[in-house]
């Protein structure tokens, strides 16, 4: 049985996760996929209970699990803690220990929500792209870094944008492998026109493609990051899989996110290297703990549910079960039901719990 560690975290985390747990139970009841589920604390709730945002025991459980599903961490209650003790440090420590080097952020526009996007309907309708962001290298981690005081008492801030062959090729393979299950089209994004690390990025991605994926019919194109930002808001449907470094991925994935409407709809996956056949993986919604709406039963649970469906697809190779969840979401939205964050005129506003109820009802209908 697959080992799943569930870390609901803070704020709306436990509320949205409760709805996903109902779907996990449903999957087991229907004999589809069964998990050995462990639940543990991370973030502010762990600070309260254990004085640290992530205990060594929870970290060990995460390392032993086949996948980790996370809600969100943080909130004003813990704002006064020192930087090192903050809830977010638990998540950073977890990501680092699991060596999650590839962040997958799909930008999918559900038909029923297409007219809620800020761009014109025909630009976003049917959009389904995947951004693969390198997560553990590049300018956010490169050395040397720091702020120094110069002789004339002015200051100099330094960060180093650095990539190695190994770092580029492992994230490129993730993108190419994903494209094999999609439309076999990868766009690699860099600034090779002005950065040596960008030249290396482009050359290594091209080499991996040439040696391993070209013969499988994968098309590779390259684009400069500034042009990619422009193309994402001009004609996003030209893309299938985008692979890019940590810095550009940070910006471009947020840019792509705005194409889809609400934060409450955005899932994500972070993948590590395969160990004994199973790849370390953490799945979590793109949103935070939303303290402004926590405890009110109004949060949108769909981003967390869609993160779970990514888990079924990428960690457990269960595309049918993942499709089932995505179709249930589609049907519920088409039926006019909305949580407050995605509410539109003439639709019915429902609570977090009712959204969970109707998803289960839809799943029941889909498997009859």
Task: Based on the shown chain and the rule CB under 6 A, indicate whether residue 287 belongs to the binding site for ligand NAD.
Answer: yes
Q: Which residue lies nearer to ligand NAD by CB, 186 or 290?
A: 290
Distance of CA 317 to the CA centre of its chain: 18
Q: Which residue lies nearer to ligand NAD by CB, 66 or 341?
A: 341
Rounded Cα distance, 285 and 31, in Å:
26
Q: Determine the interface stretch with ligand NAD among 50-58, 287-295, 309-317, 323-331 (rule: CB under 6 A).
A: 287-295
Task: Based on the shown chain and the rule CB under 6 A, indicate whether residue 292 belongs to the binding site for ligand NAD.
Answer: yes
For this structure, is 224 an active site residue?
no
**The one among 303, 324, 325, 337 contacting ligand NAD by CB under 6 A:** 303
- Cβ atoms 189, 244 nearer than 8 A: yes
For this structure, is 190 an active site residue?
no
For this structure, is 48 an active site residue?
no
Task: Point out which residues pair with 338 in neighbouring strands.
Answer: 349
CB of 292 to ligand NAD, least distance (A): 5
Task: Based on the shown chain and the rule CB under 6 A, indicate whether residue 20 belongs to the binding site for ligand NAD.
Answer: no
Q: Which residue lies nearer to ligand NAD by CB, 12 or 172?
A: 12
Burial degree of 4 (CB within 10 A; 0-12, 13-18, 19+): buried
Rounded Cα distance, 49 and 152, in Å:
49
Q: Determine the interface stretch with ligand NAD among 33-41, 46-54, 161-169, 298-306 (rule: CB under 6 A).
A: 298-306
Tell me the site size for ligand NAD, rule CB under 6 A: 22
DSSP string, 50-78: HSSSS-HHHHHHHHHSSEEEEEE---GGG
For this structure, is 250 an active site residue?
yes
Considering only residues 329 through 348, tell me which ones interact with ligand NAD, judged by CB under 6 A.
341
CB of 301 to ligand NAD, least distance (A): 7
The DSSP element (H or E) to which 324 belongs, if any, is helix 319-334
CB of 189 to ligand NAD, least distance (A): 23
Rounded Cα distance, 181 and 107, in Å:
16
Query: Which residue's Cβ lies closest to ligand NAD?
Result: 288
* Helical packing angle, 302-314 and 319-334, nearest 10°: 160
Considering only residues 88 through 107, tell me which ones interact with ligand NAD, judged by CB under 6 A.
88, 91
Residue with tokens 């032993």: 64
- Cβ atoms 163, 245 nearer than 8 A: yes
Q: Which residue lies nearer to ligand NAD by CB, 96 or 234?
A: 96
Helices (runs of H) and strands (runs of E) counted in the chain: 12, 14
For this structure, is 2 an active site residue?
no
Considering only residues 46 through 85, tell me which ones interact with ligand NAD, judged by CB under 6 A.
72-75
> Which one, of 72, 92, 58, 89, lies nearest residue 14 by Cα?
72
> Which residues participate in catalysis according to the annotation?
140, 191, 226, 250, 254
Under the rule (CB under 6 A), what is the footprint of ligand NAD?
Answer: 12, 16, 72-75, 88, 91, 263-264, 284, 287-293, 299-300, 303, 341
């Amino acid at each position: 049985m697959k080992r799943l560690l569930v870390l609901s975290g803070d704020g709306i985390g436990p509320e949205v996760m409760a709805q996903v747990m109902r779907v996990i139970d449903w999957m087991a009841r229907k004999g589809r996929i069964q998990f050995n589920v462990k639940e543990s604390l991370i973030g502010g709730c762990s600070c309260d209970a254990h004085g640290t945002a992530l205990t060594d025991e929870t970290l060990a459980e995460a390392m032993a699990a086949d996948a980790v599903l996370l809600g969100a961490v943080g909130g004003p209650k813990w704002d006064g803690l020192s930087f090192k003790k903050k809830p977010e440090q638990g998540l950073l420590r977890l990501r680092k220990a699991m060596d999650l080097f590839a962040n997958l952020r799909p930008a999918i526009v559900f038909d029923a929500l297409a007219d809620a996007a800020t761009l014109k309907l025909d630009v976003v309708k049917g959009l389904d792209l995947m951004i693969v962001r390198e997560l553990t290298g590049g300018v956010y981690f490169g050395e040397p870094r720091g702020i120094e005081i110069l002789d004339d008492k002015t200051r100099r801030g330094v960060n180093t944008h650095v990539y190695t062959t190994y770092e580029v090729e492992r994230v490129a393979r993730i993108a190419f492998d994903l494209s094999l299950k999609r439309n076999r089209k990868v766009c690699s994004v860099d600034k090779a026109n002005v950065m040596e690390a960008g030249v290396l990025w482009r050359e290594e991605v091209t080499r991996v493609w040439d040696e391993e994926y070209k013969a499988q019919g994968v098309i590779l194109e390259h684009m400069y990051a500034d042009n990619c930002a422009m193309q994402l808001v001009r004609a996003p449907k030209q893309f299938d899989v985008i692979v890019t470094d940590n810095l550009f991925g940070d910006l471009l994935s947020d840019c792509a996110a705005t194409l889809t409407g609400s934060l409450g709809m955005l899932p994500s996956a972070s993948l590590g290297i395969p160990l004994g056949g199973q790849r370390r993986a953490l799945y979590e919604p793109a949103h935070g703990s939303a303290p402004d709406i926590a405890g009110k039963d109004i949060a949108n649970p769909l981003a967390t549910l869609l993160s779970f469906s990514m888990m079924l697809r990428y960690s457990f190779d269960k595309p049918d079960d993942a499709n089932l969840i995505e179709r249930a979401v589609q049907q519920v939205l088409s039926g006019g039901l909305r949580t407050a964050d995605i509410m539109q005129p003439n639709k019915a506003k429902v609570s977090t719990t009712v959204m969970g109820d109707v998803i289960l009802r839809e799943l029941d209908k889909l498997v009859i």
